[in-house]
Amino acid sequence: MLERTLIILKPDTVKRKLCGKIISIFEDAGFNIVETKMITPSRELVERHYPNNNKWYVAVGNKSISNFAEQGVDIVKVMGTDDALTIGKTIKGWLVDYMTSGPVMAMVLEGNNAIKNVRKMCGNTIPSIADPSTIRGRFSLDSSDVANAEHRPVHNLIHASGEIDEAKYEISLWFGSENA
């Protein structure tokens, strides 16, 4: 099934001059670039990009709680709380700060089952446990324990839409509804 998905090469990717290498990986896999732009996004854009609802905050918070538990780290000592909702809101703030800290490259990719296949190519959102054959596993060195200790999000190089409705929303947000 032919789909479109949004990817964002985050500030760490742009700073490390990895955009060309990562774009080549997608092109080599047969994806077409429908549209692209380099932008330093506004806080408003990034705040709209990440959901603003308790379900999302709790999911993000619970993921962090699990990561802390796996590492044997006391989440209350690092985050000041073990409340998933509060942790999720804190992480969203970190994401907004990070994504607005410098230029990003936003792209619409099109191809067969693009959403699922692009996410598979990106790898686990925690680079330290991503398969070495994925983009994050190959190019990122960050880990959640270091990021949390530094009170920032994991620098994982790339955002990729997770499902069809999310892709449509994100493409419309970043490029206008005619590209969704």
Active site residues: 159
Reduce the DSSP state of residue 30 to 3 states and report it: coil
Q: How far is CA 33 from CA 98, 127, 160, in A?
A: 25, 25, 14
Q: How far is CA 112 from CA 31, 51, 109, 116, 175, in A?
A: 8, 27, 10, 9, 21
CB 88 within 8 A of CB 56: yes
Rounded Cα distance, 126 and 144, in Å: 6
Residue 94 CA from chain centroid, whole number: 12
